Structure formats: C-alpha cells, structure tokens
Structure 1
Amino acid sequence: MHVHRTDRITVIGGGFAGLTAAITAAEAGARVTVHEAHHTLGGRARTAEGPYRTNEGPHALYSGGPHWSWLRARDLVGPLATLPPLEAARFRLRHRGALRRTPPLAMLKLLRRGAGRAPVGTDFLGWATGVAGEEAARAAAHYAAVALFHHDPGSLSAAFVQERLRRATRLPPEAHYPRGGWGGLIDRMAARARDLGVRVETRSRVDTLPTDSPVVVATSLESARRLLGDPALTWPSGRTVLVDLAVRTRRGDAFVVSDLDAPGWLERFTAQDPSLAPAGEQLIQGQIPVAPHESRADGIRRAEELLDLGFPGWRERLTWRREAVANGRTGAVDPPGSDWRDRPAVDRGDGVHLAGDRTAAPGVLSEVSFNSARTAVSLALGRRGLDLDHAGG
C-alpha cells in the first residue's frame, strides 16, 4: 500500500480523457503532470496537419451529454462547422442495394416512444424484430453502427443499441463538428490545462507507475492492461476499416451514405467544413465495421460499393486516398446481460484510476471518456461531489 499526496495527480495519456482529467484536477487545486508517449497530444482525437485534415475515423461531438456543457462553459468547443440546408438534404441510405432518401417505414417504429425501453438482457435484433419485424430491425441495427463501430450491432444488448440509435437519429441532430477538425478542440483543451499550471510532457512513455501520487491511466485499454499488469482489463470493442479519400468537387455528391444492408457509413466532411481539403476538392471519410474473420480488403470493397452509389465517377476524380484498420479503438460495446457498470472499474485500487472509452462510465462515444475521467479525478482527490454515477446510461 502506497501513501499518496492527494495534492498531486499524474495523468498517463494526453487524449480527450487525459486532458479532461488534467483540467478537472487542476481546477480542483491539484498539481498535475500529463505524460503522453506520442510527440503530440490528442490520441484518437488528433487531426492531421493537412492538406487533408482527417481525424482517425469520422468524429462528431454530441451535444446531449454532460461534456458538451462542460466544454462550452470553458469556451473549449470553439467555432462549429455549419451544414448548409442543401447539403443536409443529400443524406442517403442504402437499402436493398439501392440508394434511398428515407428509411423503411417500419424502422421508424423503433424510434417512437411507444417502442418502450429496450431490455439489457436481450439482443437488439431479437427485441427489435418483435417491435417492427426482422427487416426493419436489421436496418436499424446497421444504422446504429455510426455510434457503435461494430460488425454485428444486432447481437449486442438491446438497451445499449437503442440508446445509441435514438441519440444518432434525434432531431435536431446532436452531432456537431468543431471547425478544422477535433485537433482544434484538443489544442484548446491543452492550452486550458497549461494555463492552469498543468505540466505536459510529450514523448514521455511511462513503463512504471509513480508511487508518490494518485494516477489516472487515460490510455487505450490494451495499453492500460500492459502498464498495470492486469489481465482483467478487457472488454469487447469493434474492428473497423477506415477509408479516407479526396475527390474533385462535383455537384450532386451525397453528404452521407448510411448502409442499412450492412454496417457502414461514409460522410463528406467538407459539406460542412470546406477548410478540411484544398479548394475544389471534397474530403470523404468512411468507417466499415468488419467481423473477426473478415479482412481489410472486405471492408474496402464494401466502402467502394457505397462510394459507387453516393459519389458517381469518384475513381476518375480521386486526388488522395488512405486506408487503415482500427482494432479495439472504437469504444466499448455491451453484450446482452451487461451494461456500462460491468466494464472495467474506474477505481483500480491503491491510488490508480482508469479513464477511457471502455471503462465503467455512462454515455455515448466520447462521453464515456469524459465521465470516466471526471470520476477518476473525484476519487483520486476524495471529492465525491464530482462523481457522475447519477449520469445517464
């Protein structure tokens, strides 16, 4: 058992969770040091320097969670990109192999209040089939992949998928886009942390936990498992093929192509933020969840099928392209019979706390990182007033 000075906190990892923890601790009066192994801060929230300002996969900032008001109160959100109405009308869905403007009518039954609260212990496909029929249930599960990054959303907990489906389809939309990509948000958070006296050390890989202060480990779950030597730090996640490309501008290109026949999503990010690509070019980012037995080529093939539908002639217009596979970096997914409380606990004992998007914290997408980071700091400092157990989920 170590004796820790609770006026100091060490944060390992300088991504969204780590910076949230650092700012929270510094605002509470603690002396904070952040260690980031990479040469820049941001983790998966980094934005490429350009000329194609891509994030690591499609990124949006949902406005329905507690992180939104927290960021706004500190003027950290920054300017938001605005989607012109004409572009918003170019939202397309692939269903039965064809591009459509509207979802199957039966799918809308799953979005109505009358559908009721989905159970935790049942898989989404089984529950949703009982409400709207199997075809609509599969379409809804595939649509929800935009907030799940999983190859088989229908196999997951019905309650887990329903929450994300409702958040992803809410009107007006919850999804917002910081102008210039998420890198600007990270830069503002880093500046706020430094203004509060946080010591930020980049290219600083930590192999041994400090013993003189509480620690917030805000890394991927895989990195945390190695650092803590704790094989129990596991939880299911997704595996996704990321396809980024730029094409010369052409009138009539889709804004979004959402696949209802299989999980998959393409989005033309320059529709709302032209600064992400050179003049006369459009930046498209796609995510295609793939099963463990599927290959990178399988994901690319499905992405190209969507591109053929939503962006005719894209091959002849192509100016830049990049592909990658994201393993276990797409947030937690909850199997039937489990919810966020069953994931790896924030409090690891002996002054060590965990933060990130696969921890025991409520929320959708980056909200899990935010909530776990705030909870980690509250426990580390003994400030129960910061606890977020009352938050949604």
Structure 2
Amino acid sequence: MGGLRRIRDLSPLLGPVPPEQRDDSVQRQKMLRLRGHSVAWVPPLFLLIAIGLADWNTSGEFRIISWIVLVPGIAAAICGVWTTAVFACLAVVTYIEVDASWQHQYQTGLPDFILVSVGGVLAVIACAVRVRGERRMLHMMDVAETTRRTVLRPIPPGWGDLDHAAVYLPADSEARVGGDFFDIQPGPSGTRLLLGDVQGKGLGAVESAAALLGTFREAAYHEPVLRTVADRLEVRMRRHVGYRKAVGHDDHDRFATAVLVGFPDVARDTVEFVNFGHEPPLVVAPDGVRALPPGHGLPLGLAELTSDQPLVLTAVLVPGETLLLVTDGVTEARDADGAFFPLLDRVTRALTEDPRTVEPQRLVEVVRDGTLRHSGGRLADDTTIFAVRRRGDPRPVVSPNVVPEGTGEGTTQP
C-alpha cells in the first residue's frame, strides 16, 4: 500500500493546491510543528544539553565535548538560517565553558575549539544553501501548478449542464501535468467534451495537449457541427507537429488519441461522438455496462495516412446513465503477472455490489482504486478517469437489500 500513497490524485476539479498541502521539501517541516508552533529547535537543543552533561560526567581520558560540532549540523538540516546561527554560537560557548571546567591536563584546547567554530560556520552556510534550494523548488512547484491549471483548467460543478468527476494520476509522482488532457466546453449548439492522450512524455507532450485543448475550447463553442470540431482538431495537431519541426524539435510524428463527445440541446437522450483511435467510452447504467462503438478513426495527426474520415456516431444516453472515459493508463495497467486491468469487468462487478456506482464521483473512485490496486501503485503511464452525465432527475438507484419507499421494509436511496 505504500506505493498507493505515493500516487497523487491531481483532479483539477478540486482547484488549486493550498500551500499547506503542497508535497515539497519546505512542507516537510510540518512534521516538526506542535499546535501551530515550530519545534524544530528541540532536537539540536536536546543534543547540545546531552553532550554537555555527558562530557561533564565522563573521565578525563574520554572527553566527548568536541561532538558538540554535531549540534549546528543537525540544526542546519531542519531549522532556519538564524536558528542554525544561534546553535552554532551556543555550541562554541558551551564548548568553552565545559572545557574550561576541566583541569588543564584534560582540556581539549584550541584544536577542538577551531573544529567547533569552523563546523558552526559551515553549518550556517549549508543551511543557507538548503533554504535557498527549497525556496527555488517551491517557486518551480508554483510554476508547475500554474501550468497544470492552464492546461487542465478547473471545471466548475454542473458546467455545461453536466454532472462530472475526474481523477488525474501522473505516472511521475512529482509531476503536475503530462500528456493526458480533458475538458468540457458548453456552447450555443450544446456541450462538447474532449478527452485524449498525447503520444510520448515530457514537455513536448504537454505542449501538444495545450494546443489541442486551446483549439477545442474555441471550436466547440463556435462550431455548430461536431464534424467541424473534429476536423479542426486534426488540422491543429498537424500544424503543431509542423511548427515543432520548424523550430528544431523533432517529435517523430507525434500524435494523440482522443474521444470527442457532443451533448446536443435538441436531443437530450442522445450523444454524438468521434473516436480518434482511443479506447471506446463505457456507458454505465443502473442495470448494466456497455461499450460504445469504437468508430475506427485514426489518432489525431495521422489523418493523411487514409482517405477515410473518422465517423461521427450517435448513441442513446438516457437520464441516469453515466459516460465513463479513461486513458490507456487504466486499460494498460498491469499486475505482477502482466495481466491488463479488466475495466469492464471491474465496473460491472462494482455496479452489481452497489448500484450507486453509476454516480460520476463514485464511479471514478472505483476505477481509480481498482487501477492502483491492480498495478500495485506503479503506473507506467499517466492515467485519467473522467465520468459525466446530464444533469436532471436520474432514475432512482436502490442499494442492495433496500426496497423502495412505501413497502414498510426499507428506504429509497438517492
């Protein structure tokens, strides 16, 4: 389970990460706080007193007062610069006082005094370097957080008349954003949704994801036909790859798999979708799970390889049914024996055990927990889980062993 805890759930629906919740080197000092006050000074102070008392009670042949050089070193690792400087001074003063209390023949004298003094100075310098590095790291984390919120912007509750929930799990536990992308964009012709995965990793994949999302947000709002939105995404991917090559960054014909979904205002019991070589979405209903047709479209950026355009398909999505979209970090997650994660079977089983799994938030939690357990917390690729359904009055979902209200034997569950 230790591997599971190292995976951070970075759902952009939760908004910005508060400073007190950041997982960086500066925030590790939270462990050295008691009732809101820092107690980082306690360990070096305890060590200072312990060494002084131990030296006071030893024989002249075994003096340990020179060990006091460890005190500013410990302070440099967990305290601030000024606190470290104070302990460096206290170490020198304590050394002088304790050493002077011994008879002359047992005093350690000038060599150890120089050792303690130089050790204190070096500890202060080391602490200053450490604090500067931590501040720089915090600044870089803030930059990464801003980048994440730019690419994967927070989606307001009920945005586009959709109930939604999302989980993003980076393969790199220290990363904030990768090649996975998703967004919801309402517009005059209905609400559109895009989820995809850029081939490759690193900043190049992030740039490609940002380019596609920027085009989607504009086209999904202005274009009345979903086919036009799909065409503009294809053109944008090719233009982006061409630009990267022109500036000397050969992405080796980078492409992106994606699913584009439209929720028309005129037909609220249907959805339109275009599949660009992505895993087909699942429709999770109170009475079962089914997969939408794959569509057989090529990934974005590879349309020139064929004369066929990806199909714009239509499917029924009645109130109470949830659309589940995932990236290949879910479907290609492997266990210790190399077996892939059985997404359809796992969702079906969870739905059988608790029909409330159809709710978007519960559904993404089920898939997230199942994926992490299956892979032992070791994700080989960025993982996104996205669940949406139209807002409204869904069909009632009843928990197992609970009967509808009015029978006198139970209560109806929402």
TM-score band, normalised by the shorter chain? under 0.3
Calculate the TM-score normalised by the size of structure 1.
Answer: 0.21
Calculate the TM-score normalised by the size of structure 2.
Answer: 0.20
RCO higher in structure (CA 8 A, sep ≥6): 1
